[in-house]
Chain A
Amino acid sequence: MYEEENMTPSEKALESALGQLKPITNILNRDQLMFKAGRMSAGSKGPWQILSGALTIFLFCSILLRTGSNEINIVPTNKEQNPIQVVHAQYQPAETDSYDSMAYPKLREKFLKEGWDALEFHKTSGNSESFKNQRELLNSMLSS
C-alpha cells in the first residue's frame, strides 16, 4: 500500500502542518444553494404533470373542434308565408238505422197487418215497458 508506509516522517509532518490550515467557508453560499435546490424541486415536472398537461391540451382541442363542427348556418328564406290551407272535413253522419232502403208502402202494409212486431228494431231495443205502454195506447187508438 502507498498510503502510509512509503511516507517519511518529514513528509508526514508537512502533511499534518498543511492539514491544519482550514479552507474558508461561505455561509451565504449555503443559503443560496438551498434556495436553488428548493426552487428546483418545486419546479421539477414529474411525469404525472406532463400527462395532465397533455390531457388538458387534448380536452381543449376536442372542445374547440366539436364547437366548430356544430356551427349554425343562417340561410335566408322566402319572406312569403305559407298560405294557410283550410281543410274542410267532410261531414259523415253516424250510422243509424234508417228505413230509406225500405219502401214506405210495404212497411205500412206490414205494420197494419202485424202491428208493432213488424218493426224488428223495436223488439230488440231495451226499454220494453215504455214501448208496451206506447203499443197499448196505439192499439186503443187504432181500434177506436
Chain B
Amino acid sequence: MTEISQNQLAKWYEDYEAELMLYAKQWHSEPQAEDIVQDAFIRLLKQRKSPDNVRAWLFRVVRNRAISKVRSLKQQQKADQKIQESEAVWFESSSSDLIDAGMAQNILQKLAANLREIVMLRIWGQMSLKEIAEITGKSIPWIHKEYKRALELIKKELEHSSCTKKKT
C-alpha cells in the first residue's frame, strides 16, 4: 500500500476507464456514467493509501455510485428507458470483430440488469468469479450459474439475430 500520485492515477485511468465506462453505462446515460467514473477516480486519489486491488475497488465504487444514483432518482424504469434510448456507443467497431459491435450492444442492453453486470465484470472487467462475488455481494456459485445463463441467452440472441440478418 503506497500513496497515490497523479501519474499513477493517470495510468490507472488509461487502463480501466473504458471498462468502467462500459460498466457504468448499463445504469446511466453517457454523461452520467462519465461523472460516476471520474468521481470514482477522484475518490481513489483521496485515499491515503492505494487499495490492494485497485481495479476491483474502482468497479465497486462505480457500482455503488451508479446504483445509489438510480435509487435516488427512484425512477428505475425511466433510467432503463434512458439507457435504451441513449445513442451512446459502447464498443469500437472493427472489421476484425467476430461479433458486430452494435449487435452485441443491443443484446447486452436487452439482458436483465444483474446478468448484464456479471457479463461485463467477467469479460471486460477481466475479473474472477470471486472478485465479482465480492463486488456484487453474491455467492460464487450463484455468480457462476447466472454467468452461464447469461452466456446462453447471448448465444441464442446472436443466433437469432444472424438468422434474421441472413433472411433479410
Contact B13 A30 (CB under 8 A): yes
Secondary structure of the B side of the interface? helix
- The total of interchain contacts (Cβ-Cβ below 8 angstroms) comes to 96
**Does A77 interact with chain B (Cβ within 8 Å)?**
no
**Does A2 interact with chain B (Cβ within 8 Å)?**
yes
**Does A10 interact with chain B (Cβ within 8 Å)?**
yes
Contacts A21-B104, A33-B42, A38-B6 hold; do A14 and B129 have CB atoms under 8 A apart?
no
**Does A126 interact with chain B (Cβ within 8 Å)?**
no
Contact A2 B144 (CB under 8 A): yes
Number of interface residues, chain B, beta carbon within 8 A: 43
Chain B 81-118 interface 0/1 with A at a Cβ cutoff of 8 Å (1 = within): 00000000111101011110100100000000000000
In the bound complex, CA of A18 to CA of B125 (Å): 12
Contact A22 B99 (CB under 8 A): no
**Does A40 interact with chain B (Cβ within 8 Å)?**
yes
**Does A140 interact with chain B (Cβ within 8 Å)?**
no
Please report which residues of chain A, range 22-65, place their CB below 8 angstroms from some CB of chain B when the two chains form the complex: 22-26, 29-30, 32-34, 36-38, 40-41
In the bound complex, CA of A122 to CA of B128 (Å): 136
Contact B91 A22 (CB under 8 A): yes
Closest residue of chain A to B126 (Cβ to Cβ) is A19
B14, B101, B141, B151: which has the most chain A beta carbons within 10 Å? B151
Contact A25 B99 (CB under 8 A): no
A17, A18, A29, A33: which has the most chain B beta carbons within 10 Å? A18
**Does A15 interact with chain B (Cβ within 8 Å)?**
yes
Contact B89 A24 (CB under 8 A): yes
- 21 A–B contact pairs at CB < 8 A? A15-B122, A15-B123, A15-B151, A18-B154, A19-B123, A20-B96, A20-B98, A21-B104, A22-B18, A23-B21, A23-B90, A23-B92, A24-B90, A24-B91, A25-B17, A26-B34, A29-B38, A30-B17, A33-B9, A37-B42, A37-B45
